[in-house]
Structures are given as C-alpha cells and as structure tokens.
Amino acid sequence: MTSIPDNEAVSQPVPMARQARRVALIVAVAFFMQLLDSTIISTSLPQMGQSFGVPAVAMSIGITAYMLTMAVFVPLSAWLADRFGARNIFLVAIALFTVSSIACGFSQSLTEFVAARIVQGLGSALMTPVGRILVLRNAAKSDLLNATALITWPALFAPVVGPVLGGFITTYLSWHWNFFINVPLGLAGLLLVARFVPGDRDSEARPLDWLGFFLTSLGLAVMLYGLERLAHPDNGTLPTAGLIAAGIAIGWLAVRQLLRAPHPLLDLSAFKVLTFAVSTLSAGTIFRVAINATPFLLPLL
C-alpha cells in the first residue's frame, strides 16, 4: 500500500467546518437581500415619483435618507453586538429591514416613503457589520478565507441583477413589488438565524464611547451629505464645499477621540498593520466605489 508523503498530505484542502459554512450562507442571504434592495429601485424612480406626484429627481431624497441613516448607525453596530449579542442584533436588523420594506411598498406619499427608508437604513446599518461579526465568531481561523468568500458573492451579484430585476418588476407588476420581494427573504432569514445561529452575548461589554459615536456619526453624515450635493450644482458650490470641509474637520476630531479614548467605539489599531491599511484604504475603496456605482450606470447602457 502506497503512503502519501507528508508534504502532499499537508497540501490537501481542508474542508470548511459545517457550522462556519452554515452561518456564512445565512449571512450571505441577508446580505443579498440588503444589497438587492439598495440597487433594485434605481430603474423605478420615475414610476415612483409619478405615483407620489413628485418629480423623479425628488425621489433621490429617499436614497439620501437611507445612506445618511447608515452612516450614523454603522459605527454603533459593533458595540451593540458586544452588548446585546451579535445574533440578537442581527435578528433585530433583519426584522427592521423586512417590516420597513413592507412600509416602503405601501407608501402613499414621499414623506411616508422617506420615513420607511430611514428605518430600512437603520436595519441595513446593523445588518452588514453584525453579519460579518457573526461569521468571524463562528468560523475557525482556518475557515475565515472560505467564509469570507461565501458572504462576498452577494456584493458581486446583487448590484448587477438588481436594476434588471427592478425594471422587469416595475414594467410587468409595479414598483411596490420591488420592496415586497424582501418579505420572503427576510422571513427566511429570521427563521434560519433563530434556528441555526448560536447566541453569543458578551457579559462584559465595554462601556459606550458616546463622544466617539457622536463625532464619528456626525462626521460621516455631514461628509456624505456634502458629497451627495455635488450631484446638484444648483444647490450652490460654497455650501457644498463647507459641508465637505466640516465633515473632514469633524472626522479629524473623531479620529483623535478614538485614539485617546480608553474604550474607543472603533479600534483603529488595526491600521498599524501596513497590508491591512493599504488594502482597506486603496483597493477596498476602489472596489466599493465600482460596485456601488454599477446600479446607476447600467440603466444608462
């Protein structure tokens, strides 16, 4: 009987642990729902504006409200996961997202739609980072690469299929179903998380860095709003430049607070690792800009 050399045995791929794969797939489904919703409405904004009795360009406030809410609450997500458990927060995030999707679909005015989108943005702000925390806590170090690959595919697939699916649904059904489509996905996600994802509440959660949260959220929101105004030159160049400058200044204060706080809201020490800092700030930024721009470019083709 021929024995396998040690070097060949070591080179054999190690199967991913069942629990890690299961959690990663469940999180991937939730991510797909969130990313699909972010892109599916891009081709139905004119019909939505007509339904609400407002110009199509006015519908951009729904997207802006969604993004600003995410910017405010994303920094808080990790602390909430530590304080109340990542599984519990993930369930709350999916529930908020699903209920607000129903509210978006039943909206009768732009005001109702924006209010629903704010709640949806809150659910999305908690869902994405907390989902990654769940994967990290349920995967062994040897499984992290494969688990990360499983939760990455929604970011590649949803922005491409979203505008096409949104156009099809809007043409043959109505724009309302672009939001109702989230309901079965959300209910399935709630059941799967409740059934297969273990609880992980940390009994010794660190105290909340309130000042860090305020400065980080405010800086991100002001900067994002300033960048959004760049698409509307009629709003005035000086106020837009002032918002961007204010966002940068507040962001500097936020970084200063995070570096000095005994229990910072966000631990920036990881950026001391050169490879992490370069990949996150350069390649990671380019990747996210390209992916998030896709749904807005496809309708122009």
Q: Residue 98 sits in which domain range?
A: 19-204
User: Is 114 a domain residue?
Assistant: yes
In a domain, 4, yes or no: no
The set of residues, in sequence order, having a beta carbon less than 8 Å from that of 238 and lying 6+ positions away, is none
68: number of Cβ within 10 Å:
20
Residue 86 lies in a domain: yes
- Which tokens go with 177? 């179903």
Q: Is residue 161 part of a domain?
A: yes
Percentage of the chain lying above the pLDDT 70 cut: 86
Q: What's the predicted TM-score (pTM) here?
A: 0.81
> Would you give per-residue pLDDT tens digits along the chain (301 residues)?
444 444 444 444 445 677 888 888 888 888 888 888 877 887 788 888 888 888 877 787 888 888 888 888 888 888 898 888 889 999 999 999 999 999 999 999 999 999 999 999 999 999 988 988 888 888 887 777 788 888 887 767 877 788 888 888 888 888 899 999 999 999 999 999 998 888 776 556 678 888 988 998 898 888 888 887 877 777 778 888 888 899 899 989 998 988 888 888 877 777 777 777 777 776 667 766 666 665 555 555 5
The CATH code of the domain that includes 174 is 1.20.1250.20
- Other beta carbons less than 10 A from residue 216's beta carbon: 26
So what's the pLDDT on residue 141? 78
In a domain, 227, yes or no: no
Predicted pLDDT of residue 112:
92
3-state secondary structure the chain: CCCCCHHHHHHCCCCCCHHHHHHHHHHHHHHHHHHHHHHHHHHCHHHHHHHHCCCHHHHHHHHHHHHHHHHHHHHHHHHHHHHHCHHHHHHHHHHHHHHHHHHHHCCCCHHHHHHHHHHHHHHHHHHHHHHHHHHHHHCCHHHHHHHHHHHHHHHHHHHHHHHHHHHHHHHHCCCCHHHHCHHHHHHHHHHHHHHHCCCCCCCCCCCCCHHHHHHHHHHHHHHHHHHHHCCCHHHCHHHHHHHHHHHHHHHHHHHHHHHHCCCCCCCHHHHHCHHHHHHHHHHHHHHHHHHHHHHHHHHHC
Q: Is residue 80 part of a domain?
A: yes
pLDDT score of 14: 46
How many Å apart are CA 265 and CA 78, to the nearest integer?
A: 8
Q: How many CB atoms lie within 10 A of CB 126?
A: 26
Question: For position 62, what pLDDT does the model report?
Answer: 84
Domain membership of residue 177 (yes or no) is yes
Residue 109 forms part of a structural domain: yes
Domain total for the chain?
1
